[in-house]
């Protein structure tokens, strides 16, 4: 009799375990599992390109948040920046039943179908660093508004060139022609340049997230335009490549370059005078905020439409529409760059 009782108990336990499902919890639940239903959740963080310092430092902040929140963090992405490979990763993770996927899309149009399909499976999908169509994700964890970034880039370059009375041509070296966030920044760069009528925008050149191509682009721009006074290099790989191109062309101090990159990547160029200013945000904080937002969406403590979100050590962060704003643009110069290590 006792053996029968133990067998029945074991059978019931097996049925209970079998009904719990995989990492996603109850498949098809529109709101996902809450912390009460499952304590430990799985969040995937997908960068545009794995292996470059910008995204590596984002991942460090993401891991910090994951430890705080009892989250299993999967950080992976294409090392060549291929949007097709990134889309395949989203599809794989959705089939595995993870709880949330955080995407920095290199080409939103390529990634959007996979992101939408993941949402239909009950996975929370958000964007970070770069956005995708709003129907492909729930919220965008945005480092700052496109207007803030575009304005900061232009105003800083003008200052570094000597002020608003400087005359000449400005060029842009971007990452890829399909990078939606950078295309939006360029809209605001063009708008802000109207405040400086002595400057005109020349070429906008993609570098395909390749530092060597950015190096060559900078040298080509210098050769093509004797009136070139400044370059805006608006990706973390384009900026050091462009700086090296200017340096090797012997144009340091004559052609100013500023843009977006990590202080570690740009420190040598700031120290030797090739670059006066580096613009960015705290990349570790961006990764940290992304995991905070994703975890709270899964657990139901943030609905996506709340005016603010509590973000651990970052305090409360403002939500504008469906954008969660990190909101702190940093400018690194020779006076402060050694205070930052990322």
The CATH number of residue 306's host domain is: 3.40.50.2300
Sheet architecture: strand order including 316-320: 71-75, 41-46, 100-103, 124-128, 140-142, 323-325, 316-320, 308-310
36-63 pLDDT, tens per residue? 345 789 999 999 999 999 999 999 999 9
Mean predicted confidence (pLDDT) in 106-133: 97
| 125 and 169 in a common domain | no
Residue 337 lies in a domain: no
**How many secondary structure helices (H) and strands (E) does the chain include?**
10, 14
pLDDT at 120 over 60: yes
Task: Return the percentage of the chain with pLDDT > 90, whole number.
Answer: 86
Please report whether residue 130 resides in a domain: yes
Residues 134 and 184 in one domain: no
Residue 34 lies in a domain: yes
Q: Is residue 231 part of a domain?
A: yes
Q: 3-class SS at 248?
A: helix
What's the total number of domains in the chain? 2
Q: Are residues 123 and 165 in the same domain?
A: no
Element (H, E) at 87: helix 83-96
**Neighbour count for residue 255 (Cβ, 10 Å):** 24
Average pLDDT of the residues in 83-99: 98
Same-domain check for residues 106 and 93: yes
d(CA 126, CA 275): 35
* 3-state SS assignment for residue 162: coil
Please indicate, yes or no, if residue 211 is contained in any of the structural domains.
yes
Residue 279 has pLDDT above 80, yes or no: yes
* Structural domain that includes position 297: 23-142+283-327
Distance CA 17, CA 12 (A): 9
Between 137 and 27, the more confident residue is 137
What is the model's pLDDT at position 34?
37
User: Chain-wide mean pLDDT for the chain?
Assistant: 90
Neighbours of 160 (CB within 10 A): 17
pLDDT digits (tens, 9 = 90+) for 187-238: 999 999 999 999 999 999 999 999 999 999 999 999 999 999 999 999 999 9
Task: Check residue 38 and give its pLDDT.
Answer: 52
In a domain, 277, yes or no: no
Residue 322 C-alpha from the chain's centroid: 16
Residue 271 in domain? no
My answer on whether 133 and 177 are in the same domain is no
């Amino acid at each position: 009799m006792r053996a029968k009782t133990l067998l029945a108990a074991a059978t019931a336990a097996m049925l209970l375990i079998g009904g719990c499902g995989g990492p996603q919890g109850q498949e098809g639940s529109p709101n996902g599992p809450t912390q009460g239903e499952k304590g430990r959740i799985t969040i995937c963080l997908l960068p545009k390109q794995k292996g470059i310092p910008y995204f590596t430092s984002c991942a460090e902040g993401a891991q910090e948040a994951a430890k705080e929140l009892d989250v299993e963090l999967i950080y992976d992405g294409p090392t060549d920046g291929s949007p097709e490979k990134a889309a395949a990763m989203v599809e794989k993770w959705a089939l595995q039943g993870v709880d949330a996927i955080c995407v920095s899309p290199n080409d939103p149009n390529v990634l959007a179908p996979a992101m939408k399909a993941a949402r239909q499976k009950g996975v929370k999908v958000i964007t970070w660093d770069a956005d995708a169509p709003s129907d492909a994700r729930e919220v965008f964890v945005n480092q700052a508004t496109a207007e803030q970034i575009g304005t900061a880039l232009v105003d800083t370059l003008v200052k570094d060139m000597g002020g608003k009375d400087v005359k000449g041509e400005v060029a842009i070296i971007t990452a890829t022609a399909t990078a939606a966030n950078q295309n939006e920044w360029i809209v605001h760069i063009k708008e802000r340049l109207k405040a400086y009528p002595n400057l005109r925008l020349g070429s906008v050149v993609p570098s395909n997230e390749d530092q060597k191509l950015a190096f060559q682009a900078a040298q080509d721009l210098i050769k093509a335009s004797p009136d070139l006074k400044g370059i805006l290099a608006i990706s973390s790989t384009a900026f050091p490549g462009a700086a090296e191109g200017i340096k090797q062309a012997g144009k340091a101090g004559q052609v100013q370059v500023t843009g977006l990159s990590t202080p570690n990547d740009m420190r040598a160029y700031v120290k030797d005078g090739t670059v006066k200013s580096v613009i960015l945000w705290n990349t570790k904080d961006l990764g940290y905020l992304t995991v905070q937002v994703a975890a709270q969406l899964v657990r139901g403590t943030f609905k996506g439409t709340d005016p603010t979100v509590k973000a651990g050590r970052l305090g409360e962060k403002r939500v504008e529409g469906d954008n969660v704003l990190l909101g702190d643009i940093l400018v690194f110069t020779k006076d402060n760059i050694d205070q930052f290590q990322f």
